Amino acid sequence: GAGVSQSPSNKVTEKGKDVELRCDPISGHTALYWYRQRLGQGLEFLIYFQGNSAPDKSGLPSDRFSAERTGESVSTLTIQRTQQEDSAVYLCASSPRKGGQGNEQFFGPGTRLTVL
């Protein structure tokens, strides 16, 4: 079956521009997570969706970052006025309903963002 997909796979942008990153989770997965991996660093949690609501946005680094999810499916992560420190691989993961055995997270291939 189809896994988590993300687009674009690579994005190069100029400082100050806005970017949108897309995540298509596994069909039927209600939980969706965004993480960021900067060069030489571990993965950092950004935001969590349960359905279309985001009960945990604690990892978003600034108000330039926002995310939404529609139809309990696709999610977009938007970064406004990009800065060079935003350069990273942005990874999306989805998971079946909380609780029980179905709590493994399945990751997409990531979007590599480079801000010049």
Which residues of the shown chain bind other proteins in the complex (CB under 8 A)? 4, 6, 31, 33, 35, 41-43, 45, 48, 50, 55-56, 59, 91, 93, 95, 98-99, 101, 103-110, 112
- Taking the complex as a whole, the smallest distance from the CB of residue 16 to other proteins amounts, in Å, to 27
Burial (0-12, 13-18, 19+ Cβ within 10 Å), 4? buried
- Taking the complex as a whole, the smallest distance from the CB of residue 36 to other proteins amounts, in Å, to 11
Signed CA dihedral, 47, 93, 71, 99: sign only: negative
The residues with which 76 forms a beta bridge, in sequence order, are 22, 68
Is the CB of 19 or the CB of 108 nearer to other proteins?
A: 108
Residue 52 tokens, joined: 């279309």
Is the CB of 80 or the CB of 112 nearer to other proteins?
A: 112
- Taking the complex as a whole, the smallest distance from the CB of residue 73 to other proteins amounts, in Å, to 19
